[in-house]
């Protein structure tokens, strides 16, 4: 469970940091399972935007 959470956090941070100049293959390769958010942010930098988005309800739900 911890590994899944760590990978999820890393993916989230990578997604949010997509416009960051620190997001490159060399830094991405430094991210490892089990790292804390702080450790990942030290490598990749803070996310540019951590806001939430909403999407319209699915037509399949009532």
The predicted-structure confidence for 39-50, as pLDDT tens digits, reads as follows 999 998 887 776
User: How far is the C-alpha of 27 from the C-alpha of 41, rounded, in Å?
Assistant: 11
**In the chain, where the domains are located:** 2-44
Tell me the angle at which helices 37-44 and 2-16 cross, rounded to the nearest 10 degrees: 30
Choice between 11 and 53, residue whose per-residue pLDDT is larger: 11
With cut-offs at 50, 70 and 90, classify the pLDDT of residue 18. low
Highest mean pLDDT among 1-10, 24-33, 41-50: 24-33
User: How far is the C-alpha of 27 from the C-alpha of 30, rounded, in Å?
Assistant: 5
């Amino acid at each position: 469970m911890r590994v899944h959470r760590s990978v999820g956090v890393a993916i989230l941070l990578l997604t949010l940091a997509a416009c960051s100049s620190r997001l490159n293959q060399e830094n991405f390769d430094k991210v490892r399972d089990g790292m804390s958010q702080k450790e990942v942010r030290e490598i990749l930098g803070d996310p540019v935007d951590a806001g939430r988005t909403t999407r319209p309800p699915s037509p399949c739900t009532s």
